Chains A and B, each alone.
Chain A
Amino acid sequence: MNDNVEKRRSERTVDDVFAQAMAEPDIRGRSLWVDAWHRLLRNRAAVVSGVLMILIVLAVVVGPMIAPWAGDFTDWDNTSSPPSLETGHWFGTDAVGRDILVRTLEGGRISLLVGLVATLVSLVIGVSYGAVAGYYGGMTDRIMMRVVDIIYALPFMFFVILLMVVFGRHIILIFVAIGAVNWLDMARIVRGQTLSLKNTEFIEAARACGVDHHSIILRHIVPNLLGVVIVYVTLTIPQVILVESFLSFIGLGVQEPMSSWGALVNNGAQDMESAPWTLVFPAVFLTVTLYCFNYIGDGMRDALDPKDRA
C-alpha cells in the first residue's frame, strides 16, 4: 500500500519532469568545435597571430589598390632611395626605382596565394586518397600507399626543374609542383588516422545500422579527421610559402614583373650592402607570416586535442 503511493509519487515526478522539459525550448549543445574555439581564444599567441594575419592579408589585398604607385612603376628621381616619408616611398625603392612597399604587398599576394592554393590542392587530394586507402585497407591500401611511396621517392628539385623545362616557367606550375608533393604527407597522415578510426565502435555501429561505406567515410571518418587535418594545414601553409620562396630565390619561381616574397628577398640580397631596406622589408613580412601560421597551428593543436596537454 505504502509502496504503491511511493511509486505513484515517483512516477508523477518523472512525468512532471518530462512535461516541463517538453515545454522548454531545446537545449543547445556545445559541439567539440565550439569547445575547441573557446580554448583557442584563450591562447594568447594564437590570437595575436590571428589578428596579425588578418592585418597582413588585408594589407596585401587592399594595399596595392590604394597605393599611389603601381608595382612596376619606375621612379627615376628616386632609385635606390632609403625609406622616407618625404619621397612617399615609405619602404624605399630598389635599384630601378620601384616602390618596395607596393612590391612587398604585391609579392605577398602571390606568396599567400601559392600557400593557400597548393595547400588546398594537397588537402583535397590527400584527405580523399588517405581516407579511402585507410578505410578499405587490404590490397587497395597496399597499392595506393606504394604509389605514394614511389612519388615520394622522386627528388623534388629534379621534378620542379623538369616541369619548368617541359612547360616553361609559369605560376600555375608552382602550384602543381608543390601540390603534387605536399598531398603525399597529407595522405599518409589521414590514412593513419583512418586506420585507427575505422576500428572504433561508432564506425561499427554505423555499419550495423546499415550505413554504406561511402556515407561512413563522408559522415563519420572525415569529420573526425578534421581536427588533425586542420592542424596539419596550418602548418603546411608556411611550409609551402617557404618552398615557393626558395624556388623564387634560386630563380625557378615567379617571373618579373610579378614577384613574391621569396623573389624580393632574392633581389634584396643582391643589393644587401648598398640598399639593405630592399632585403629587410620583404624578409620581415615573410618571417612574420611564417611565425603567425606556426603559432596558429600550435594553438589549434592544443585546442583540438586537449587530452594531450594540460
Chain B
Amino acid sequence: MSKPVLRVQDLSVTFTSLAGSVFNRQERQIRAVDGINFELFAGETLGIVGESGCGKSTLARAILGLLPPNRGRVMWMGDNLTELDEEAMRQRRKELQIVFQDPVASLDPRMTAGDIISEPLWTFYPKMARLQVDERTRGMMKMVGLLPNQINRYPHEFSGGQCQRIGIARSLVLNPRLLICDEPVSALDVSIQAQIVNLLQDLQKKLGLALIFVAHDLSVVRHISDRVMVMYMGQAMEVSEKERLYRKPLHPYTNALMKSVPVPDPKLAAAARRENWLTGDMPSPYRRPKGCVFHDRCPFKVKRCEADVPPLRRMENGDRVACHRAEDLDLSVVEA
C-alpha cells in the first residue's frame, strides 16, 4: 500500500474552564480529544461517528489547526502541521479544506455567492486576473450544481442545500488534497442530504480527495466511508473497515450505537428497544471513568475494564479496537 497522506498521532485537545468564585479559582479540564491515532490515504474516506459531545468536531478542527492541540502530531505529506508557524500553516491551507455543519452560518451574509467562492482565490493568488477568477468561480458553481448566473446572489437568497453547495464550492476552489466535512448534512432535510452526500462522493472520485466525514448519522457514514472510526469521550473505540464494522462490530459501544438507530417498523421497533441495552448518558467529561472510559455503561465489563485502559489494538484483519474483550465477544448485527 502507498504511504498515507495524513497521519494523526496521539492528538489531544484539552479545554480549560474556570470554576469557583473569584477567590477560589479552580481550573477544570476537559479532554475533548484524547490521544487519537489514525491515518488516511489519498482518495480514501474515513467516517467519524459518535454521540454528541464526543469530540468529533473538535478533532476535525484540531487537524486543521483551527484549535491548538495540547499534544500529538498531525503529519500531512511529511510535515508536522502542529509545529508550522502561522504563515507556513496558512500556505498549507490550500491543500486542507473544511465544510461546516451549518450551511447558512458558514457564509458571510454580506458577501455574494461569487465573492464567497472566490475568496480563497483572491487570498492565495492576489494577482489573478479578474476574468480568470470569474471563470473559475462559475466553473465551481456549475460543478457543485449551482446555476452560474446566480453568482451575484446573497446567501439569504439561497436554500440551505444551495448554501451547503456554496460552502463545498468554496472549499474545493483551490483544489485541496484533503477535505474534512464536519457534519455537512445534519442541518439539511433528508432529500437534500442525499444530494449533498452524492455530490461529495462524485467530487471525491473526480478530484481524488482524501475525505474525513464527521457525522452522527450512521447510515450516511456507511454510504460514503471506506473506513469508520467510532469515538467515545474523545477516544477512538474502534477503527474498522466499513462493511466489517457494520456487520460485526468489535467494540460493545459500536454495537450499541448501531442498535440505537430508530427502526421505522413499530413491531420491530419494540424488539429493537428491548435489545438496545445502552442506557444512561455519557458521564460528565469532568469525571472521566478510570480504566476503559466506556466501562460504566458496558454490560460486558469485567474487573479488568475498571482498572486498565484498553489500548487501541490492531486485530488480525487490520481493524483496530480498544476493548479488552474484543476477541471473546460476538457482537454480530443481524440485518433485516
Contacts and interface: CB of A to CB of B under 8 A. Distances in A.
Interface of A: 17-18, 21-22, 24-32, 200-202, 204-212, 215, 219-220, 223-224
Interface string B67-106: 0000000000000000000000011011011101110011
Q: Which of A21, A32, A206, A210 has the most C-beta atoms of chain B within 10 angstroms of its own C-beta?
A: A210
Interface string B100-120: 111001111110110000011
Contact of A26 (B108, B151, B157): B151
Given A32-B110, A201-B100, A204-B66, A210 B120 contact: yes
A219 B102 CA distance: 21
B177 to A, nearest CB: 14
A31 B147 contact: no
Given A26-B152, A27-B149, A210-B93, 4 more contacts: A17-B147, A29-B154, A208-B98, A211-B123
A210 B66 contact: no
B148 interface: yes
A202 B115 CA distance: 13
B97 A208 contact: yes
A208 B89 CA distance: 10
Nearest to B152: A29
A180 B90 CA distance: 38
B227 interface: no
Given A18-B147, A27-B153, A204 B100 contact: yes
Interface of B: 61, 64, 66, 90-91, 93-94, 96-98, 100-102, 105-110, 112-113, 119-120, 123-124, 142, 147-154, 156-157, 167, 170-171, 174
Contacts of A17: 147
A208 B152 contact: no
A190 to B, nearest CB: 16
A32 B123 contact: no
A212 B90 contact: yes
Contact of A27 (B101, B108, B150): B150
Contacts of B113: 29
Nearest to B155: A202
A16 to B, nearest CB: 12
Contact of A209 (B91, B93, B147, B153): B93
Contact of A31 (B106, B107, B110): B110
26 contacts: A17-B147, A21-B149, A22-B149, A24-B149, A26-B151, A26-B152, A28-B152, A30-B157, A32-B109, A32-B154, A201-B106, A202-B106, A202-B109, A204-B66, A205-B107, A205-B167, A207-B66, A208-B66, A208-B171, A209-B97, A209-B119, A210-B94, A210-B123, A211-B123, A212-B90, A219-B119
B147 A29 contact: no
Contacts of B112: 29, 31
A210 B142 CA distance: 24
B93 A208 contact: yes
Contacts of B119: 206, 209, 211, 219
Nearest to A14: B145
B98 A205 contact: yes
B93 A202 contact: no
A282 B151 CA distance: 52
Contacts of A207: 66
A260 to B, nearest CB: 38
Contacts of B108: 202, 206, 220, 223-224
Nearest to B119: A209
B198 to A, nearest CB: 13
Contacts of A206: 108, 119
Contacts of B91: 210
Contacts of B156: 32
A215 B119 CA distance: 11
Nearest to A223: B110
A215 B151 CA distance: 22
Given A31-B154, A210-B124, A22 B148 contact: yes
Contact of A25 (B66, B97, B123, B149): B149
A196 B66 CA distance: 17
A206 B111 CA distance: 12
**7 pairs of A and B residues whose beta carbons are closest in the complex:** A210-B93, A29-B153, A201-B106, A21-B147, A29-B152, A209-B120, A201-B105
Contacts of A31: 110, 112, 154
B154 A209 contact: no
B31 to A, nearest CB: 22
A32 B113 CA distance: 13
B107 A210 contact: no
A76 to B, nearest CB: 61
A32 B110 CA distance: 7
A84 B254 CA distance: 93
Contacts of B66: 204, 207-208
A26 B110 contact: no
Contacts of B107: 202, 205
A25 B147 CA distance: 11
Nearest to A224: B110
